[in-house]
């Protein structure tokens, strides 16, 4: 059954939603999309602030910004938080978003392993216990800085090719307390969570973005991810956001002169559903995890994402109980005013994402992530931004 907002039959999308003491003015979340608008050293820029200000001003209730790197390893144009020197810029960003009435802003914290243009890729099996303890501490210290910078929530990147995801996956073949059975594979995330929870003020919103399915042979499936979700809920996490795929094991070799990317094989293509994929290609994963959590007695909200182009479809997902919150990445990159247009009955004015994945391709090249539908040469969506109309 389809719910058409124009007919007034769908209301959940724009209803306030409250959990763990945080009130959202609607159920729409901007999920992390790397912008590459930071400086080469990882500092906040005015262009980056403008991107997230536009999303907040466009009506999005909760903006979870792009993956912010917790370690000092080189990675050009990625936001950084491995040192106190990055806090002032991040505080300026949160202050600007908080100027928008009732806007909430979260941060995603990420860690990546070593990789080279020549083909070397570090794995979790190679890490010493001292290095693992360092990763844990880097996340905890980053969490402390995130609170100082004024973020309303912290999310750990436990999906796709990121380090924490590689630990949690069944692809992890370590034979010590950080590999093997489930409780060992999730141990690093649990230790990060417990350390961060103790370090921050009581009630601070903590969550994780996890893979619902690794989409490669031998990786986690929905069956395994539901168990991970229940463990995280039992520990006390406040929410879960669901992704999938993005693995190195099925990635294609890079073209000469281009950096390697985990988003080139089947699992990577499914992480960013394309034009030829059905709408809501990954929603079944959030649905399965949410059902498992509710059956086990856990009420924490679940964010879905993955090719949710228009408001009526988002409403349908909520009405059918497949998720609690709608995560939008590319649609809000394309048109930051998506929410306000839908909420005011101007759905026809939404500049619809065409899922060409131009944004993903330039992102992989460490170029400023933009939309092919914007005017050439701009770094953010025009304001106002209206679709092109055919002339009669």
Q: Residue with structure tokens 């001292």?
A: 130
Rounded to a whole number of angstroms, the distance between the first and last alpha carbons of the chain is 34
Q: How far apart are CA 188 and CA 366, in angstroms?
A: 29
pLDDT of residue 116: 84
The burial class, CB within 10 Å (0-12 / 13-18 / 19+), for 31 is buried
- Backbone conformation region of residue 64, classed left if phi is above 0, alpha if psi is from -120 to 50, else beta: beta
Note whether 36 and 49 are within 8 A (CB).
Answer: no
- In the chain the domains, ranked by start, together with CATH numbers, are 5-364 (3.20.20.70)
Residues 6+ away with beta carbon under 8 Å from 109: 67, 68, 70, 81, 139, 142, 143, 146, 154, 155, 156, 157
pLDDT of residue 9: 46
Residue ranges of the chain with per-residue pLDDT less than 50: 1-3, 7-9
Q: Residue with structure tokens 């931004």?
A: 385
pLDDT of residue 166: 98
pLDDT of residue 2: 44
pLDDT of residue 3: 47
User: Per DSSP, what are the bridge partners of residue 156?
Assistant: 109, 208
Residue 40 tokens read as 């080469």
Q: Give per-residue pLDDT as tens, 158-180.
A: 999 999 999 999 999 999 999 99
Measured from the Cβ of residue 359, the count of other Cβ atoms closer than 10 Å reads 23
pLDDT of residue 359: 96
Note whether 353 and 330 are within 8 A (CB).
Answer: yes
Backbone angles phi, psi at 310, to 5 degrees: -135, 160
Residues 6+ away with beta carbon under 8 Å from 133: none
pLDDT of residue 258: 87
Residue 81 tokens read as 């938080």
Q: Residue ranges of the alpha helices (H) in the chain?
A: 46-57, 87-98, 129-148, 163-168, 182-185, 187-199, 222-235, 266-271, 283-295, 311-319, 330-334, 338-343, 358-364
């Amino acid at each position: 059954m389809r719910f058409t907002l124009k007919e007034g039959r769908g209301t959940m999308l724009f209803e306030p939603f409250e959990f763990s003491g945080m009130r959202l003015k609607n159920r729409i979340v901007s999920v992390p999309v790397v912008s590459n608008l930071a400086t080469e050293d990882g500092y906040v820029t005015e262009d980056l602030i403008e991107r997230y200000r536009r999303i907040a001003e466009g009506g999005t209730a909760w903006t979870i910004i792009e993956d912010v790197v917790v370690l000092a390893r080189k990675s050009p144009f990625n936001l950084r938080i491995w040192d106190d020197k990055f806090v002032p810029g991040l505080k300026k960003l949160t202050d600007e978003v908080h100027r928008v009435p009732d806007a909430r802003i979260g941060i995603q914290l990420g860690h990546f392993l070593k990789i080279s243009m020549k083909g070397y890729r570090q794995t979790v099996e190679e890490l010493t216990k001292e290095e693992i303890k360092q990763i844990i501490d880097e996340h905890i210290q980053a969490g402390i800085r995130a609170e100082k910078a004024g973020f309303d929530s912290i999310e750990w990147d436990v999906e796709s090719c990121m380090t924490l995801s590689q630990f949690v996956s069944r692809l992890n073949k370590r034979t010590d307390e950080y590999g093997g059975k489930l409780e060992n594979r999730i141990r690093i995330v649990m230790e990060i969570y417990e350390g961060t929870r103790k370090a921050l003020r009581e009630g601070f919103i903590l969550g994780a973005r996890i893979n619902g399915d690794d989409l490669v042979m031998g990786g986690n499936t929905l069956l395994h991810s539901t168990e991970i979700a229940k463990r995280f809920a039992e520990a006390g996490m406040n929410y879960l956001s669901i992704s999938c795929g993005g693995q190195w094991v099925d990635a294609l070799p890079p073209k000469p002169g281009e950096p390697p990317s985990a988003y080139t094989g089947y699992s990577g293509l499914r992480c960013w559903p394309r034009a030829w994929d059905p709408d809501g290609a990954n929603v079944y994963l959030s649905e399965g995890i949410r059902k498992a959590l509710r059956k086990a007695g856990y009420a924490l909200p679940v964010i879905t994402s993955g090719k949710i182009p228009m408001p009526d479809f988002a409403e349908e997902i909520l009405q059918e109980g497949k998720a609690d919150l709608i995560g939008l990445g590319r649609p809000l990159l394309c048109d930051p005013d998506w929410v306000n247009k839908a909420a005011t009955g101007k759905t026809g004015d939404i500049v619809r994402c065409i899922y060409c994945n131009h944004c993903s391709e330039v992102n992989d090249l460490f170029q400023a992530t933009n939309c092919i539908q914007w005017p050439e040469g701009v770094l953010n969506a025009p304001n106002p931004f209206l679709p092109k109309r055919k002339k009669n």
